[in-house]
């Protein structure tokens, strides 16, 4: 999936518990998976990993750093670390509101890019990957993170991509 997304490599780390959610990514090339995530069915896990790889490949952490810097009146390149920039938004509701459209856009993008990566790399349909994951996620009562839209909304937004995913599953290595 990393190669499909144009990344030279991705490093995988295991989280000790579920406190950071099932999965998250860290700049520049790390995907962290929780113990519960590792127990998911193959296509659900493929979608989850695809979603995080999409964040890395699209360099959303850079986008966050620039947007938060500009909206908080700092020079655009005062830091190149997304984590530093994200810290600006902690406890700053006004700033968080100003960049929330960007976060929603990033999550939507990570969902559909991740679903298509899972389709082409692992032969997973949207139904078996993303939609199954969101159903499971809904039952367990938690979301990936508060920044994400409710599961039903994310499922609805993925439906236009199911045909493309179906075509890509045929390209998956068997």
**What angle is formed at CA 31 by the lines to CA 72 and CA 59, rounded to 5 degrees?**
40
Tell me which stretch binds Zn ion (CB under 5 A): 13-21, 58-66, 107-115, 125-133: 107-115
Q: Counting contacts by CB under 5 A, is residue 40 touching Zn ion?
A: no
Question: Helices in the chain by DSSP H: which ranges?
Answer: 35-38, 42-57, 60-71, 82-89, 93-122, 132-139, 151-158, 162-169
Residue whose CB is less far from Zn ion, 23 or 76 = 23
Residue 110 or 117 having the CB closest to Zn ion: 110
CB 64 within 8 A of CB 86: yes
Write down the least CB distance from residue 149 to Zn ion, Å.
11
CB of 170 to Zn ion, least distance (A): 27
State the nearest-atom distance from the C-beta of 173 to Zn ion, in Å. 26
Taking the complex as a whole, the smallest distance from the CB of residue 102 to Zn ion amounts, in Å, to 12
List 5, 33, 99, 110, residue binding Zn ion (CB under 5 A): 110
What is the closest distance, in whole angstroms, from the C-beta atom of residue 19 to Zn ion in the complex? 17
Interface stretch with Zn ion, choices 15-23, 100-108, 122-130, 156-164 (CB under 5 A): 100-108
Long-range contacts of 126-131, Cβ-Cβ distance < 8 Å, separation of 24 or more? 126/158, 126/159, 126/161, 126/162, 126/165, 126/166, 127/162, 128/41, 128/43, 128/44, 129/43, 129/44, 129/46, 129/47, 129/50, 129/165, 130/47, 130/154, 130/155, 130/158, 131/155, 131/158
Stretch that binds Zn ion, among 3-11, 64-72, 105-113, 135-143 (CB under 5 A): 105-113
Q: Which residue number has the CB closest to Zn ion?
A: 110
- The residues that touch Zn ion, with contacts defined as CB under 5 A, are 107, 110
């Amino acid at each position: 999936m990393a190669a499909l997304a144009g990344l030279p490599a991705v490093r995988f780390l295991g989280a000790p518990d579920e406190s950071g959610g099932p999965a998250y990514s860290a700049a520049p090339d790390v995907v962290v998976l929780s113990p519960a995530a590792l127990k998911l069915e193959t296509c659900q896990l493929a979608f989850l990993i695809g979603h995080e790889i999409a964040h890395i490949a699209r360099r959303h952490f850079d986008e966050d750093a620039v947007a938060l810097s500009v909206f908080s009146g700092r020079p655009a390149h005062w830091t190149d670390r997304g984590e530093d920039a994200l810290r600006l938004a902690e406890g700053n509701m006004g700033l968080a509101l100003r960049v929330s459209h960007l976060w929603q856009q990033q999550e939507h993008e990570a969902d559909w890019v991740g679903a298509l990566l899972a389709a082409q790399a692992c032969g997973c349909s949207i139904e078996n990957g993303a939609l199954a994951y969101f159903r499971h996620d809904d039952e367990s009562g938690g979301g990936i993170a508060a920044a994400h839209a409710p599961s039903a909304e994310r499922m609805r937004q993925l439906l236009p991509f199911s045909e493309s995913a179906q075509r890509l599953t045929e390209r998956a290595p068997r």
